[in-house]
Structures are given as structure tokens and as C-alpha cells.
Structure 1
Amino acid sequence: MLKIINGRILTPQRIIEGGSLYIRQGKIEAIVEGDISVPGKVKIINAEGLYVSPGFIDIHVHGGGGADFMDGTVEAFLQVAETHIRYGTTAMVPTTLTSDKEQLLHTLATYEKTRAHNHKGAQLLGMHLEGPYFAMNQRGAQDPRYIRDPDPAEYLEILQQASLISRWSAAPERNGALSFGDALRSHGVLAAIAHTDAVYDDVLKAIEHGYTLATHLYSGMSGVTRRNAFRYAGVVESALLLDEIDVEIIADGVHLPEALLKLIYKTKGASKIALITDAMRAAGTAVKTSMLGHKETGLPVIIEDGVAKLPDRSSFAGSIATTNQLVRTMITTAGVPLLETIGMMSTTPARIMGLHNSKGALTNGKDADVVIFDDQINVAYTIIAGEVRWRL
């Protein structure tokens, strides 16, 4: 048994001051006020008044520590997972960039190999394929060479590996994108709206075909637009309005200013928002230049103002955020209460990914994925399934 004592335990309902958390065989067995003795051999962690939180779940991350999942090696996957665990990420969804079919299949094969070797880093929850079925003029830093319409011959071949894929992002207005959504739903893969010029009616149709998540809200998507002088709600307004759509946001304090963070929180509520890093390889490093995507064939980027940018500064090119930074930003910049912020970093992403029965909250019977941090959200311990995988 592992026992964490003297902590401020963040449950879904309240903060238990001076509480203790009991973990047995990788699961949460009990949460109590104060402390109780238990028989047998017990390992004790004294939280010394720090917060004891559910582990942070990042459902959209590309890299960190100098590596990117598009590097296509087991070593790169492990480097990213071991980098982000230092900041409280206990589980992540590795994310690709727009590329050709062969590279996507190779990345999936690498992911499968990695799972047997990932003993030190954050858990991997299945791949997120971001693209290549996007709107060209909403591509952001996605490589335009690979952007195309959904092709059943292509995506059905890739979906033969559906057990390795947890989500796939696409622009629902592209030719064939609605049938693509049907295929994702039939294979148990979450369909998300991203890098899109869709309008409200397109989003309504997308929902009917299985799209339930807006990828990095505001980034790479349409807002209010005019066609033949008439105004149309874009994906931003549609996602804020429609209860059927969950949203993810890059809460690094750069991609979205204070006012938009507050607007999204006020409109959607914590139960419909997942915080994501969208981090690229420079996260967790101090470099000033980097590569987005594959280390040799990706896009050169610069790091300044706390974000990655294309060299001509025409677009952001992914964040360099860590999950504890997201939590800090929502509390200090957006003014969101701690418990609700933690919910956006744990409970909501767990639900979105269909893992709410096992992850996302400190309750009896769930996986013992735990983060211990101070008032500034500096992480002291990261624990996965009852195993301490990182400590300060």
C-alpha cells in the first residue's frame, strides 16, 4: 500500500484539508480526513500541506523535451512522455501532424512498439491523428503539401489500426468528411472538428455524423463570416452555442487572451472544456529555434513570447506549454476556481476520451494517477497507478 498523508486532497466535491489518500494495487482504496493506521507494509508520502490532485490528462500534445511524435521512433515517444511527466501529466494522447499515409502508418506502428517500453513516462492513451483533411486557408502551421479531402481508400486502410487511434481531427465541410465521420464512429474513434472554414449548418451536419469535439477552439477555425452579404456563425460560435460539442483550449496565456478564456469558461462551463498543451518539441527546453513535426523534414519555427511561431511570424506553430502551466493560467488569468480548473485538466478530458470510469478524479476504485503540487502549481510528485514516476 501507498499512503499519502497531510495533503490538501482535491476531490470532485471539495478540498479535504490534512487528508490522507490510500492506494492499493494501483487503485484508490480510500480517502479520509486525518490519518488512520493500516496493517501490513505501507509506503508513506508526506505531502506536507501540498495539494493532492488527480493526474493531468493532455488529450492533444505533439512533443516535448526536444522530441516530436512525428520523428517516428520509440526513443522520441519515450522522450516526450518522460518530459511531460515532470509537469504533472499522467496520461496523454500523442498527436500527429498533417502528412502522407505512409508516415501516419509508420507513426501508428511506432506507437504500438512504444507501449511495451514506456515504464517512466506518462501513459499513452491512443493516437490523435490531426489531419490531413483540413481547410487550406485554416491550416495554420500544418504543411500544405499534404492537405486533401478524405479518401475512403486511404482512411479505411488506416482505420484497420483503429485500436491504436483514439481520435481524429478533420474539417467537416470538406468533400467526403461526413462519411469519414461515420467511419470514425463505427470504428470507435472520436471525431473532432479542426482547421476548418465550416459554418453553423456544416457543424449541425457534422454532429449528426459523429463529430463531438472542437479541436483547440479559436485556433485554425472560422468565426462569424459573410457570404453574399449575409452573416453566418462560424465554428467558434457554433462550438460555444451547441451543447453537443465539447471544446479543448490551449490555455498557455498566449494562444488565447484573458477575455477569450473567460468567455469560453462562462459559455461552456468546466464540464465541457478540456485544457490541452498542443505542445511541440520545444516544450520543456530553453531553445530559441526548433522544428515542428519531423526533426529533419518538418517546418522550422522560432520560439519567442512563450510560443512557437513560423519564422515569418504569420502564425503560431504550436505551444511550448506544460499542463501545470495551463492550470496556473486558468486560475491566475481567467479567475477560474481551483477545483473547476483541475476538472478541466482531468475529469473533462477523461470523459471526452471515454475513460471517466477509471480516470479523471480522486475517488475510490479509480486508477491511482496523482499529482502533488504547491500553491504555484509547481509539481513535487507525479504518480501513475500508484507508482511514483517522478519526484522533485
Structure 2
Amino acid sequence: MEQYDLKIINARIIVENDILDGASLYVAGGKIALIDKVDHAANQVLDTGGNYLSPGFIDIHVHGGAGYDFMDNTLEAYLEIAKLHARYGTTAFTPTTLSCEHESLMRTLELYEQAEPLNTDGARFLGMHIEGPYFSMEQRGAQDPRFIRLPDPAEYKVILDRSSIVKRWSAAPELDGAIEFGKYLKDKGVLGSIAHTDAIYEDVVEAYTNGFTHMTHFYSCMSGVSRRNAFRYAGVVEAGYLIDDMTVEIIADGRHLPPALLKLVYKIKGADKIALVTDAMRAAGMPPGESVLGRLDDGLKVIIEDGVAKLPDRTAFAGSVATAIDLVKNMVQLAEVPLTDAIIMMTATPARIMKAYDSMGSIATGKLADLVIFDDDFNLSTTIIGGKVVYADLKD
């Protein structure tokens, strides 16, 4: 008789489009080995106390947390950010850059490669997400204008030819050279994502056919309907809705998008085309007060209050401090989305977007045993990565 490493009992197991009661989940060799109502032996037993057992959360847009940012360019930053987000249910994520000079970006990529084998207690790295520097100046948001520039083959080819860790790149598709850039991303198997853009619908349609199949923080820093030379044009937001297979990500912190827009995106796109992302900066998991967006030495000073980062004059948001469990809770409580769909948007859909669904994103035999346990009030008690408990709330 097979002896399993871990048995998780007394759980409401969330599988895609359903919740299973009365079954136990068994882990062997870091993977889900069995889901069965028949009892089997295991070396360790974890009783959830009747709480939900969900696939681990997958966050495909993370800048920082725990007081660190990936642009700090330290190993400590990579490892501490991974640990922080694991505490809130993230089991895999894409470290994300900001617009910066070329040398700083190359250093960030080097540190990813150094940090990955050392990351034993935090969320898995899914590959690097480069956000910028090929953006519209008009839609730059909190991106540093000193570093915004046009797509440069001499730069992006060097980056992509040197390293296979870049899995996603966000850019504005209307810029000179952006379509050629999208084609190169597609040839390299890198996800092209539309971001910080003043494009019109026709620009997006062309971009979509040339590699830009995803939209970064939908609604934020992108054009909607505009009037140009007396004529009205559909923008990026409308294109996101009209192109059926375009995937989008939303910062469901309840601040960047109000409940009405969360409901609208869900109603039109559906759970299988929406990824929930934190877009978290260094202040995620930290108390309110002053912080810095980007690098500590020359980043943008911000204020953390009302559950979001703001510019010092409070005229605009300057980053998210959300965590993954917050996003799931908000979609259920604010957007009135069924729990199973909220979980799909935090697990299966981002896994498919990043072409990782074969190994993660749902509870199924043979997949990685990346799991989270939370209660009806979305209090997260346990995070498991590869069958190993990396976070447990030990409160009685």
C-alpha cells in the first residue's frame, strides 16, 4: 500500500467550477497524488477544520512587498518579497520591473537568476515581467519619465537573446517600432502585454495579431473613447472588450477599480479571460505611512493610506498594496462573483496566460501541490508550496 507524504482532511476542496465535500487530498513527491473519499495512510495529516482548500494563487504582476522592491536589485529583496506574498496565498508569481536604464534592468535579471535557486520558502518564480520602458508619455502614470523611450531592437534583442527568464513584456503598441517588437516577442515565446498606452482600437487590433494578446492592469493608464480632429475613436478599453480572446488583468483592490467596473469586466470578459493581479509595490504587507515606488535611492515618494499608494499631493494613485487573498475576497464581496469564478481568476486563468497550466492553476492529480487554506471570511491560515507548508497561522 502506498504511503503518502501528506493527507489534507476535512476540507471543502475547490476544483474548477465545483466544490468537493467529504474527500481528502493526498500529496506525494511534491505533487497532488490523489483526491479520494476512501481513507489512506500518510506520514503527515493536516486537518483544515472544514475550511476551503484552494489551488495556490498565481499573481502575474508583482513589484514588491515587505518593504522591498525588485528594482532594489538585491537578493534579499527577491527572497523577502517571495516570502511576504506566500503569507497571503501566492504560490507562484512574476517579479516585475519598472521603467529604468538598461544597466539597471540587466542587473535585475541577473539577480532573478541568482535568487531563484535560493527561494525555498517563498512563492515560486514564474519568469520575469518587464514593465516598460516602451510606454506612452501621456499614459505613463507613476512610471519615471526619465526612462520612457521607443522600442529599440538593439536593446530588446540583447535582453531576450541573453536570457530565457523573461516571460512577459508590457509596452504601448502604438509607438514607432512596437509592432516589430511584438513580432519579436511572439517569436521568442514571450507574452506581449498592452500597457501605459494611448492607442486607439485599430492600433490594438494590429497589435493583437502581432503578439500583444494580454492587457496590463486593465483600465489603468490606458485610453478609452476619445475625440481626435472632431471624430470619435474607440480606445484600448473598448478593444479589450471587443477582441474576444484578449485576456486582461485587473487590480481588484477595490480602489483602482470600483465595484461597478469589477462587475462590468467580469460580465463582459468572464472568469476565463480575467487574471486578478496585485500589482503590489514595496508597501504591501506594511503599515500605512510614507513609502517609495521603485528604487529606494531615486524612486517616487508615496503615501500609503486608504489601502492604496497615493502621490504625496493625493491627486492620483501611485501603486497597489493589495495581496492575493484580498483580491479573491473583493471579487466575491464587492463584485458579487461566485467563489469558484474568483478562484479561477486567481489560479487557472493566470496559469493559462503564462502557459503554466499543465503544472499549476487547479487542483488535479499530477499537478504541483501548491495549495492554500482559508475560511468563510477569507482569513488565510495555510500556504503549501510543493507539498511543503511555507506559512501557517498558528493562532488558536
TM-score for the superposition, normalised by structure 1: 0.98
SS of structure 1 residue aligned to 2:389: strand
Cross-structure match for 1:166: 167
CA contact (8 A) 2:17 2:341 kept: no
Letter in 2 for 1:382: T
Cross-structure match for 1:243: 244
Give the Cα–Cα distance (whole angstroms) in 2 for the partners of residues 147 and 213 of structure 1: 21
Letter in 2 for 1:300: K
Q: Tell me how far 1:54 sits from its aligned partner.
A: 0.1
Give the Cα–Cα distance (whole angstroms) in 2 for the partners of residues 229 and 306 of structure 1: 40
Q: Tell me how far 1:295 sits from its aligned partner.
A: 1.1
Q: Tell me how far 1:241 sits from its aligned partner.
A: 1.5
Give the Cα–Cα distance (whole angstroms) in 1 for the partners of residues 273 and 200 of structure 2: 21
Cross-structure match for 2:231: 230
Which of 14, 26, 33 is the matching residue for 1:29? 33
Cross-structure match for 2:80: 79
Cross-structure match for 1:131: 132
SS of structure 1 residue aligned to 2:114: helix
Letter in 2 for 1:104: L
Q: Tell me how far 1:227 sits from its aligned partner.
A: 1.0
Matched, 1:66 2:49: no
Q: Tell me how far 1:315 sits from its aligned partner.
A: 2.4
Aligned pairs for 1:243-322 (under 5 A) are 243-322=244-323
Paired residue total: 389
CA contact (8 A) 2:174 2:203 kept: yes
Give the Cα–Cα distance (whole angstroms) in 2 for the partners of residues 174 and 199 of structure 1: 12
SS of structure 2 residue aligned to 1:18: coil
Aligned pairs for 1:1-392 (under 5 A) are 1-33=5-37, 35-38=38-41, 41-392=42-393
Q: Tell me how far 1:5 sits from its aligned partner.
A: 0.4
Give the Cα–Cα distance (whole angstroms) in 2 for the partners of residues 172 and 105 of structure 1: 23
Give the Cα–Cα distance (whole angstroms) in 2 for the partners of residues 289 and 135 of structure 1: 28
Residue deviations 1:269-315 (CA, integer Å, cap 9, x gap): 00000000000000001041100011111111111121001112232
CA contact (8 A) 2:170 2:193 kept: yes
Q: Tell me how far 1:13 sits from its aligned partner.
A: 3.3
Q: Tell me how far 1:317 sits from its aligned partner.
A: 1.1
SS of structure 1 residue aligned to 2:11: strand
CA contact (8 A) 1:18 1:49 kept: no
Give the Cα–Cα distance (whole angstroms) in 1 for the partners of residues 350 and 88 of structure 2: 17
Q: Tell me how far 1:18 sits from its aligned partner.
A: 3.0
CA contact (8 A) 1:289 1:302 kept: yes
CA contact (8 A) 1:162 1:188 kept: no
Give the Cα–Cα distance (whole angstroms) in 1 for the partners of residues 30 and 385 of structure 2: 8
SS of structure 1 residue aligned to 2:113: helix
Give the Cα–Cα distance (whole angstroms) in 2 for the partners of residues 313 and 338 of structure 1: 34
Q: Tell me how far 1:199 sits from its aligned partner.
A: 0.6
Q: Tell me how far 1:164 sits from its aligned partner.
A: 1.1
SS of structure 1 residue aligned to 2:80: helix
CA contact (8 A) 1:168 1:190 kept: yes
Letter in 2 for 1:4: I
Q: Tell me how far 1:319 sits from its aligned partner.
A: 0.3
Give the Cα–Cα distance (whole angstroms) in 2 for the partners of residues 376 and 387 of structure 1: 24
CA contact (8 A) 1:141 1:315 kept: no
Letter in 1 for 2:32: I
* Over 6 Å off, 4+ runs: none
CA contact (8 A) 2:171 2:193 kept: yes
Q: Tell me how far 1:345 sits from its aligned partner.
A: 0.2
CA contact (8 A) 2:71 2:98 kept: yes
Consecutive unaligned residues in structure 2, runs of 5 or more: none
Deviates more, 1:272-281 or 1:223-232: 223-232
Deviates more, 1:240-249 or 1:275-284: 240-249
Q: Identity of paired residues, percent? A: 58
Q: Tell me how far 1:369 sits from its aligned partner.
A: 0.5
Q: Tell me how far 1:120 sits from its aligned partner.
A: 0.7
Letter in 2 for 1:48: G
Give the Cα–Cα distance (whole angstroms) in 2 for the partners of residues 46 and 92 of structure 1: 27
CA RMSD of aligned residues (A): 0.9
Deviates more, 1:168-177 or 1:179-188: 179-188
Residue deviations 1:214-238 (CA, integer Å, cap 9, x gap): 0000000000011111111100111
